[in-house]
Each structure stands twice: as structure tokens, then as C-alpha cells.
């Protein structure tokens, strides 16, 4: 498959194991990876990020085929698989590395994300999700990749709930 038929997007919604779990099962998704974005340390380790002083957010890289699905579908899945109203992390995972954020790679992605934040706001939700331009994605250690799949478990930190019709 050529790069013209691939699109890469970045989503942070708490523990990256749970975020990746749902994205890797989505129709049209070709591959996923977990790592870190938005910090000030080059090539951080998981241990460094957990110390909460690198500025990184646990992030999932999602590569999908835009002829099979859309960025809009990815944004919907992002919002439907975590608590986008929580301001200090996700569930029991508290800290700056677990914040909700969409890292956009272009103006079109930013506009789509803003539209969905507006839809949720109009539904009465107080959306805590941040929008930030994508920066360097630092891939996490190999044992974090496809963690739930490799362990044969479902994530405890994320659940799916239908919000958009």
C-alpha cells in the first residue's frame, strides 16, 4: 500500500494500552503504536514519563486507510472510548501523562476535532480534551506495543460507549 493511501493520526486518552486496544480493532486501521508526545525530553522512557516531569502524554499513533474509513470516524472512536470530561487523567490513572488530547497534523484534522468538541459541548458535556499540533512521536518500549492483545486481556482503563448516531 502506498503512502497516498495511508493517513497517520495521534490520540491521547489515558493509558495508551486501552487507547490502542480500541483503535487497532477499528475498521480500516492498518497499524498502531504507542508512545509519547508533547514533552521536552528526547526519546523518553516509560519510567521517565511516569515520573511526571518530562511533559509527555501517553499517545497512540494510528495509521489508517482513508479509502476504508475516515479521520472523522477515528475522532468519534476516540471520544467514545474514554472519559473526555476528566481533567486530571483517566479513571484511576491520574497525572499529566494521562490527559485527553488530540494531536492534529493539519488544519483539516484540527477543524474536524473542533467540530466534534462543539457537538459534545452542545450535548451538555464539559469537554476537557486538549487540541495540540502534533510534534515528535516517541515510540514506547516494545513490551508496551499491542499490550492488551499480547496479554490476551481487555483494558480496564477504557470502555466503549456509543455517543454519536
Catalytic residues: 15
CB-CB contact of 13 with 90 (8 Å):
yes
Give the residue from 106, 135, 125 showing the smallest Cα distance to 164. 125
Across 122-158, b (16+ Cβ under 10 Å) vs e yields eeebebebeeeebeebbebeeebbbbbeeeeeebebb
CB-CB contact of 159 with 17 (8 Å):
no
Amino acid at each position: 500500500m502506498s503512502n497516498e493511501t495511508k493517513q497517520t493520526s495521534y490520540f491521547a486518552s489515558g493509558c495508551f494500552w486501552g487507547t490502542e486496544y480500541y483503535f487497532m480493532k477499528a475498521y480500516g486501521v492498518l497499524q498502531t503504536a504507542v508512545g509519547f508526545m508533547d514533552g521536552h525530553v528526547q526519546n523518553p522512557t516509560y519510567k521517565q514519563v511516569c515520573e511526571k516531569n518530562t511533559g509527555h502524554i501517553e499517545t497512540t499513533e494510528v495509521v489508517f486507510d482513508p479509502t476504508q474509513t475516515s479521520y472523522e470516524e477515528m475522532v468519534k472512536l476516540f471520544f467514545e472510548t474514554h472519559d473526555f470530561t476528566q481533567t486530571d487523567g483517566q479513571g484511576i490513572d491520574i497525572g499529566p501523562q494521562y490527559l485527553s488530547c488530540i494531536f492534529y497534523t493539519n488544519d483539516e484534522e484540527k477543524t474536524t476535532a473542533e467540530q466534534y468538541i462543539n457537538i459534545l459541548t452542545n450535548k451538555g458535556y464539559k469537554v476537557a480534551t486538549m487540541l495540540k499540533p502534533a510534534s515528535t512521536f516517541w515510540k514506547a518500549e516494545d513490551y508496551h506495543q499491542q499490550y492488551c492483545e499480547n496479554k490476551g486481556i481487555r483494558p480496564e482503563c477504557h470502555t466503549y460507549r456509543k455517543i454519536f448516531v
